[in-house]
Amino acid sequence: MTLAIIVHGGAKTITEDKVEANHAGCLAAVEAGWTVLRSGGSAGEAVEAAIRVLEADPTFNAGLGATLNTEGEVELDAAIMEGAKLGWGAVAAVQGVRHPISVARMIMDEKPRLLVAQSAKRFAADNGAEMCAKEDLIADEPFQEWKEEQQVVDRPNTVGCVALDANGILVAGTSTGGTTNQQPGRVGDTALVGAGLYADNQLGACSTTGDGESIIPVVLAKMAIDLLAGDTHPNEAAQKAIDTLASKVTGEAGCILLDRQGRVGWAYNSQDMAVGYMTAELDKPAVSTNKEGRKLEKAL
């Protein structure tokens, strides 16, 4: 069975001065997940490892570096899903948790599998997750943007990862800080199975990014997975899913896909989308901030 992993740092506009930071962050995330896969680890472990890297990098809107709500606070959403038994776990509007993707993975074997706010925080603390003061997740740049009421250009969206392990298990994960100046308690697509992520070993796995209020009504992740039917290449399925979203609603979005053969694909309708990936066929991970070539795609 082939191994494969792909990550994204969000569908957004990436200014020239942020290109290298996005490349470096996605590369580090891919390498973390690939190390897990190459050592015989599970796809779930790989997805968690990769997203933890992105959650710790203030370049991205997840964990440290997340956007602030109207109260000047960080609230985080995350989810993970595996494609063998369709298991999943999610948290939303949680505070004081360094790595919400890890808490989502802890919840996978629990019922209920979606916990929010104080219940999510209590579950995280009771199960040994890394906790912190909620203020510790406020990075300098998003704080200044919030304080000065700046228009945010390059920090609007979710991060995510999809991986295929040696046992043929597909797993997808997503994590986000939401949108700038969102209302406290607002939850977007990230924590919702079918919208922010989906995994089915019969077809593939997907993580999405973008405007949650646009992604949710078209059930973007599930739509992209369904479009893999008939041996459709993930690039084609991803593009069809984004085109369908754009034809039905207004909003920017992107998605990354792996099929059960380990083929990689992604698409978006924003200006840019930070992506990194590695497969058994590649010598080194590849990273990109613009698939159409407005910025150089390269192997590192």
What the chain holds in terms of domains, given with CATH numbers, is 4-299 (3.60.20.30)
State yes or no: pLDDT of 65 exceeds 60: yes
State yes or no: pLDDT of 293 exceeds 90: no
CA angle 78, 232, 289 (to 5 degrees): 50
Tens-place pLDDT, residues 10-53: 999 999 999 999 999 999 999 999 999 999 999 999 999 999 99
Half-sphere exposure of 8 (CA within 13 A, CB side): 35
Question: What is the model's pTM?
Answer: 0.94
Q: Residues annotated as binding site?
A: 186-189, 209-212
Cβ contact 261:203 at 8 Å: no
* Pairwise pLDDT comparison (248 vs 290), residue with the higher score: 248
Cβ contact 147:33 at 8 Å: no
What is the distance between the alpha carbons of residues 13 and 153, in angstroms, rounded to a whole number? Answer: 6
Q: Residues annotated as binding site for substrate?
A: 186-189, 209-212
Q: Which residues are catalytic?
A: 158
Tens-place pLDDT, residues 171-229: 999 999 999 889 999 999 999 999 999 999 999 999 999 999 999 999 999 999 999 99
Q: Could you tell me which residues come within 8 angstroms of residue 253 by beta carbon, excluding any fewer than 6 positions away?
A: 11, 208, 209, 210, 211, 214, 215, 220, 242, 245, 268, 269, 270
- Residue 257 tokens, joined: 């896909």
Strand order in the sheet with 204-210: 197-200, 204-210, 253-259, 264-268
Cβ contact 255:220 at 8 Å: yes
Helix (H, G, I), strand (E, B) or coil at 54: helix
Helix (H, G, I), strand (E, B) or coil at 298: strand
Half-sphere exposure of 224 (CA within 13 A, CB side): 39
What is the distance between the alpha carbons of residues 157 and 166, in angstroms, rounded to a whole number? Answer: 30
Strand order in the sheet with 298-299: 114-116, 88-94, 76-82, 170-176, 159-164, 4-12, 272-279, 286-288, 298-299
Preceding peptide of 112 cis, ω within 30°: yes
What is the distance between the alpha carbons of residues 223 and 198, in angstroms, rounded to a whole number? Answer: 9
